[in-house]
Amino acid sequence: MARDDEQDNNGQEGLAEGPEGDKPMAFLDHVGELRGRLIRMVLGIAVGFFSSFYFAPQISAFLRLPLDRAWQSVGMGDMAELQALAIQDPLMVDVRVAVTAGIFITAPYLFLQLWLFIAPGLFAREKRFAVPFVIVSMIMFLAGAAFAYTVVLPFVYEWMMEYSQGRGESIQLELHNYFKGTTRVLLAFGLVFEFPLLVAFLAKARVVTEKTLLRFWKVAVLIMFVVAGILTPPEPVSQVLMAGPMVVLYFISVGIARIINPAAKVEAELAAYDDPDDDPDDDDEPDDD
């Protein structure tokens, strides 16, 4: 009877009904839902793009600041000169800058769409975290981009300029390549900083525990360096500067997983579930007396 009481309490907590009231969705239904959310996200980015395109020159000037400060720091002048190698490069730079700005402007809406996609698979009690999920996602995304803008980019540009000067080489910077690399790094760091939130969600769903993360940390670090090599420009400094925070965030995530859902708690629950002495069918057996 104790088990029946637990089931009743579970129902009162909004868990017994299960995700979506235990109404299963076919695979094609999930694909259709994903397609709908992606379309909404693309439309949101499009709105952000058209809202930002008029301000593309001001945004471009803002994105140039790390380069110009590094340029001044090594004594090469007040402002770096960026050369357009093709007639369409200024237009394409404005398009890239506006798209990037549109992603940042509409980030809350994008994270909301992501939450609405995964929400049908959650229990009623877990769906209450929609607002905290969107807020924390936005904060982590901006924190990653801010770290890249204030720490990574200035350090990388200054180091590469000093290295070129030490070899006696002249530096000529190409307009499109600079903004391509800069916007990609900002978006990449913003996404990387979402990792602790992802782990928190998986830990809450009992998919991972701190023991799981610690068991595979070597493989995870290797994957991080590979990912950093893909997302950053083809030079080692920026790759290390991305992989380093990723490693730190990984071990922070270990602590988050331990706090949210300790492995000992999961193991105890599994042991209780598998305990043959606590068989729910025993309640149905007739009493010999």
Per-residue pLDDT tens digits for 47-67? 999 999 999 999 999 999 988
Q: Please name the residue ranges forming H helices in 106-233.
A: 107-118, 130-147, 153-166, 175-192, 195-204, 210-215, 217-231
Q: How far apart are CA 119 and CA 265, in angstroms?
A: 25
Residue 11 in this model has a pLDDT that exceeds 60: no
Mean pLDDT of the chain: 77
Compute and round to an integer the Cα radius of gyration of the chain: 25
The two three-digit tokens of residue 163, written as one number = 């290295």
Name the most confidently modeled range: 89-98, 159-168, 201-210, 220-229: 89-98
Partners of residue 111 on adjacent β-strands: none
Answer yes or no: are the C-beta atoms of 24 and 69 closer than 8 Å: no
Higher-pLDDT residue of 243 and 98 is 98
Q: How far apart are CA 253 and CA 221, in angstroms?
A: 13
Tell me, what's the pLDDT at 14?
A: 40
Q: How far apart are CA 8 and CA 17, in angstroms?
A: 11
Residue 43 in this model has a pLDDT that exceeds 80: yes
